[in-house]
Structure formats: structure tokens, C-alpha cells
Amino acid sequence: MAVGTPDSTEAAKLFCGMIAVDEAVLQEAERLLAARFGPIELRSPVIPFSFTDYYRAEMGEALLRRFVSFEGAMDPGRLAAVKTDTNRIEKKMAVHDAGITRRRVNLDPGYVTAAKVVLATTKNNAHRIYLGDGIYAEITVGLCRKGPRCHEWTYPDYRTETYGRFFMDVRRALLAAGHED
């Protein structure tokens, strides 16, 4: 029996999805993310976030979504540490009122490779892999030359053309930097 030999790490581009109460909070989050992870390379347009009521009780209504990706490549093995860092940023930006802490921003980091969009989460599910430190990962969307490919568990908003365009742009930036398809 042959012993498996680890291959080199797959090239990846770090991104972060942000859901916020207003554009000023999105800008503040971008500033803190760039200070931690480096210059922002790509930004999606600001998108009204109306796909779920999940955040409404904590954050309010009329939420906004934006994605950003960062210059350079990342080691995908750092994803759990990145999620831990974004959780700290969420807490730093939270407001405290009458003993209740409310987030003003939700940060969903992940990475894009030539073949997939991977999201980090603190929530376990059948299709998620435990990374450590209470963090899980899922392949949310597949990517190929023809475009995004969704899975049965892909969130409804991640199925939209706007999101797909952003992730394909990040994929193109990765490939333009010389990483293989």
C-alpha cells in the first residue's frame, strides 16, 4: 500500500460577506477588515438583504449586504482563525443597551478557489466539516468556467446572479494572479 503524500495547498482568495444596519457600518467594517486582512481588492455593490428574517430581531429591518475580497492569496487552512477574528470584529462593533448586546454587522468570511466558494460558520450541519475552535466550513457554491453551481444547501441569496457575478470576479482575479484553473 502506498502512503499518501500531501499535495501543495490550493490557492485561495479571502472574502468576507457583511450584513449591516446601514452603509456607515459597512464602511466601518471594511476599514477594520482591511486593517486585519490587508487591502480590499474587489467590492460587490451594496445589496438590500431581504432573503431571511434570521437577523431581524437582533439587527433590525432594511439590512444591507456587501462582499469584499482581499489582495493576495491565503492559506485555506487559516479559515477557522479568520472566522475567530471576524467574530471579534463583530463584538467590537456591537452596541450595548440595557444589558443587551446587539450586533450592527454580521461577518461571514470564506474563500474562493478556482473550483469553489467555501464559507466559515459556527453552526454545525450534515454538510459541514469541523475545522476546530468551534468553526465549521461548507462548500457553498461550486465554480467553473461556465459559472456558479449551487448545491441543495446553498443559501437562497447565494443563488442570485449578483452574488454569482462577485464570486466569478474573485475567481478571475485568482486565476489572473497565476493560480491554476
Sequence ranges of the domains in the chain: 13-176
Q: What pLDDT, on the 0 to 100 scale, is given for residue 180? A: 62
Go through 142-178 and write b for each residue having 16 or more CB atoms within 10 A of its CB, e for each that does not: ebeeeebeeeeebbebbeeeebbebbbbbbebbeeee
Q: Are 107 and 15 in contact (CB under 8 A)?
A: no
Mean per-residue pLDDT of the chain: 93
What integer pLDDT is reported at residue 98 of this predicted model?
83
Q: List residues bridging with 112 in a β-sheet.
A: 13, 117
Check whether 181 has a pLDDT greater than 80: no
Assess whether pLDDT exceeds 90 at residue 14.
Answer: yes
The model's confidence at residue 8, banded by pLDDT at 50, 70 and 90, is: low
Give pLDDT, residue 66: 98
Q: Which of 24-28, 46-50, 53-57, 156-160 has the weakest average pLDDT?
A: 53-57
137: number of Cβ within 10 Å? 19
pLDDT (tens digit, 9 = 90+) per residue, 33-72? 999 999 999 999 999 998 888 898 889 999 999 999 999 9
How much is the CA Rg of the chain, to the nearest whole Å? 17
